[in-house]
Amino acid sequence: MNMILFAVIFPFVIGLLVWFVFRSGKSDQGKRFASVCVILAAAVELAAVLVPLIQNLNGATFETVSLAGIGGQGLHFLYTGFRGSFAVLTAFAWFVTFLFSKEYMKNDTHVIRYDLFNLFTLGATMGIFYAADLFTLFFFFEIMSFTSFMWVAHRQTKESAYAAGTYLGIAIAGGMAILMGLFIAYNQLGTLTFGELYNGAAAKIQAGEDLTWLYVAAGCMFVGFGAKASAFPVHVWLPQSYTQAPAPATALLSAILSKTGVFGILLVSLEILPMQSGWGVFILLVGLTTMVLGGIRGVMSNNFKTTLAYSSMSQIGFILVGMAMQILLAQMMTVSTDAELSREVSNVFSMAVNGTYLHMLNHSLVKLVLFMIAGIIFAQVGSYDLNRVRGFGHKKPFLLVTFTLAVAGVGGIPLLNGYVSKTLLHESIVEYTALMDPATAVASPMAFRIVEYLFLFSGGLTVAYMTKLFIVLFVEKNCDEKLQSEYESKKAYASVLSKIAIGLCALPIPFIGLFPGAVADPIARYGFVHSGARELWAVDQEEVFYFSVKNLSGALVSIVVGAIVYILIVRLLMLRKKEEGYRGIFPAWLDMERYVYRAVLYKGATVGLGIISRILDSMVDTIVVILRKTVYSDRPLPYELPEGNYFTHSLGRTIERVRRLYCTIMKKDYEPKNYEHKLAIKSTEFFESGRIIERSLSFGLFMFCLGLGLTMIYLFMVN
């Protein structure tokens, strides 16, 4: 059986199976059994995606599989080492979160439903990473959006419903934007298959044709994919959804689902607008904004999970900046004519590719650890508020080690993984600035120097908010002493399985950092083949001296900035009044979700459309009413109808006379019965009801049918 198809379909099948078998079971035993089942399923899935990766360690194989006719257009899958590595990461993330869920979701009443949608999401995510064309990508992207919606709505509270509403709204709007972009791309390039798209776009660029529509297509898709990746300004769903979803689901949202968005943006950048500096600058700007804004909000938050959520956003910004550098460097490579320069540029380019790819991997691992730890804290404390969480980590060595590894890893501390990827990204910016030809470049070297400073500043923000969390958990003690002693006495705060799950994710963090050359480079090499067999991209990287003074100083700058930011903002502003504890200091009126998106949608759109709709809805009727009141008004009924007419009067009188005559002849007593009056009343009634019938619908119908019948008879007679 084909491994790719298996990886995509298997989770769907198992999900349905688990649901059908266990859905009615309320017993704890059934739930336990179900959670073991899903762990096994995830393990099988992991094996299924690992096998092809191990078979082709050089990552150069290509394999396509098609399911013709399915879903209208047929689904097509493509296997490359790059995609395979993401599939492994995905399966791994699901495996560890399922391990973790066994304890975390133990007392949840809807755990089977959670498992069902969780497995569906896994299958859809596999479909995204293996998609060989935009249609397949979109197909699974939509499925993933809807199934992951259930994560956010899972707790079924008012807040989670609100968050889920935002999540769904953004996801659907984003999906529609992707679809629009997809149609435009198809219209422009005549295909949706990756590789062919590139060829078409490259041919267009070569011929110097107008690229406006391609930009529109890429922009539309960027909205959709960027929403999943939580890029500014479509990140608004992020803080609430991350807070409302159960912790293992948040870990997946942050570790994997955001990467599907990044993956989509990457494919768009590679296939639809290859090597376009304009596009590169656009992504660079979005990436910078996301990176800085996420960092700032992360520092200013007083909620454990929200801080992590904004940290995710900020790290995605780093990844986007790296992607922008890839595009800019690739563009530089295509225009350079000097062989020596080309070699250097391609070396820097490979740094950017490696850095981006590694940072995606690093961020996934770190966020898996951090969100699972957040889950443990929530399960024990029942809150994410920093003031409640304060001091929880005391006398918990396992938490201390894993948490430190994760925060220091993402903070870019040397000897850990984040340092490697951030160094590569930083180097690529610095080298680009050095190599660029100011005459032809997209911006002045000064602008890129600012980019570099922002990059280091955001690195500092990362250090600052991670330090904040670390100090809250492990250094400070809770203001409530009773609570503190309770925290310290808690030894059984997590099951062995949960610890294994966290440990598995934390293990690679120092490994990548300690042996950057030996581990990071081969892994990163998968990054080279992500764009198919394009020679341009397949260049080798010179050895990077990760621990040279120059590179270490970059990390040092970030750490110093981080320390300063921490002291200034967290210690001085957020902790201004010691007794109140931490305060969130991001101004509420800057909430884009509530004051921009919802306001426009609810107030602007509904009121405006509503007025137009009301007018149009009653337009025809109003015309009819006006006509009825003016030209076609009813003829007024005479107020006093004369009773009877000449005929009834004379008939009544005649009957009266005949009766009188009859009575006189038969010698009976004559009593006048007033037939004249009776007949007059009858006739009035008759004519009134006749008038009513005449005005009624059924009379009209009757006359119509009569006419139709006569016409038919006439037709028969004539022929």
Q: Which residues bind other proteins (CB under 8 A)?
A: 68-73, 138-140, 142-143, 146, 153, 155-158, 161, 164-165, 168-169, 172-173, 176-177, 179-180, 183-184, 186-187, 606, 609-610, 612-613, 616-621, 624, 697, 701, 704-705, 715-716, 718-719
Residue 616: CB minimum distance to other proteins, A: 5
Q: With helix as H, strand as E and coil as C, how does 381-430 read?
A: HCCCEHHHHCCCCCCCHHHHHHHHHHHHHHHCCCCCHHHHHHHHHHHHHH
Nearest approach, Cβ of residue 581 and other proteins (Å): 28
Query: Can you tell me the distance from the alpha carbon of 313 to that of 410, in angstroms, rounded to the nearest whole number?
Result: 13
To other proteins, the closest distance from the beta carbon of 109 in angstroms equals 11
- Between CA 361 and CA 367 the distance in angstroms is 10
Question: Please, which residue, 176 or 538, has the CB nearer to other proteins?
Answer: 176
CA dist 520 to 392, 407, 416, Å?
34, 19, 11
Instruction: Return the number of the residue (8 or 461) whose C-beta is nearest other proteins.
Output: 8
First-to-last C-alpha distance (Å) of the chain? 71
**Nearest-angstrom CA–CA distance, 303 and 537:** 43
SS3 label, residue 190: coil
Minimum CB distance to other proteins smaller for 164 or for 574: 164
CB nearer to other proteins: pick between 150 and 430: 150
- Tell me which amino acid residue 298 is: G
**Cβ–Cβ under 8 Å, residues 335 and 440:** yes
Q: Based on CB atoms, which residue is closest to other proteins, 149 or 357? A: 149
Q: Least distance to other proteins from the beta carbon of 718, Å?
A: 7
Q: How far is the CB of 614 from other proteins (least distance, A)?
A: 9
3-state secondary structure at position 533:
coil
In angstroms, give the least distance from the CB of 645 to other proteins.
33
Task: Check if the beta carbon of residue 195 is closer than 8 Å to that of residue 532.
Answer: yes
**Shortest CA distance to 246 belongs to which of 348, 358, 104, 112?**
104
Phi and psi for 148 in degrees, rounded to 5? -75, -15
CB of 594 to other proteins, least distance (A): 18
3-state SS, residue 109 = coil
Distance CA 703, CA 697 (A): 10
Query: Least Å distance between CB 284 and other proteins?
Result: 28
Give the Cα separation of 173 and 236 in Å (integer).
Answer: 13
The alpha helices in 245-303, defined as continuous H runs, are 247-252, 258-271, 277-300
- For other proteins, the closer CB: 29 or 719: 719
Cα Rg of the chain (Å, integer): 37
Which are the contacts of 208, defined by CB distance < 8 A and separation ≥ 6?
none
- Least distance from other proteins to the Cβ atom of residue 568, Å: 40
Measured CA to CA, the distance from residue 544 to residue 348 in angstroms comes to 10
* Cβ neighbour number for residue 346 with a 10 Å cutoff: 22
**Residue 689 CB-density burial (10 A; 0-12 exposed, 13-18 middle, 19+ buried):** exposed
Residue 23 or 660: the one with the smaller Cβ distance to other proteins is 23
Residue 54 or 612: the one with the smaller Cβ distance to other proteins is 612
Nearest distance in Å: CB 330, other proteins: 29
What is the spatial distance between Cα 351 and Cα 427, in angstroms, rounded to a whole number? 8
Question: Cβ of residue 118: shortest distance to other proteins, in angstroms?
Answer: 17
> How far apart are CB 129 and other proteins at their closest, in Å?
17
Task: CB nearer to other proteins: give 310 or 378.
Answer: 378
Residue nearer to other proteins on the CB measure, 69 or 642: 69
Of residues 116 and 293, the one with the C-beta less far from other proteins: 116
Comparison of 54 and 715: residue with beta carbon closer to other proteins: 715
- Output the smallest distance, CB 283 to other proteins, in A: 24
Exposed / middle / buried, residue 62 (Cβ in 10 Å: 0-12, 13-18, 19+): middle
Helices (DSSP H) in 190-237: which residue ranges? 196-206, 212-229
CB nearer other proteins, residue 84 or residue 127: 127
Least distance from other proteins to the Cβ atom of residue 273, Å: 19
The residue written with tokens 């610890």 in the block is: 499
Are 440 and 359 contacting, i.e. CB atoms less than 8 angstroms apart? no
CA distance 526 to 512: 15
Write the single-letter amino acid at 46. Answer: L
Nearer to other proteins, 140 or 487 (CB): 140
Amino acid residing at 1: M
CB atoms within 10 A of CB 138: 22
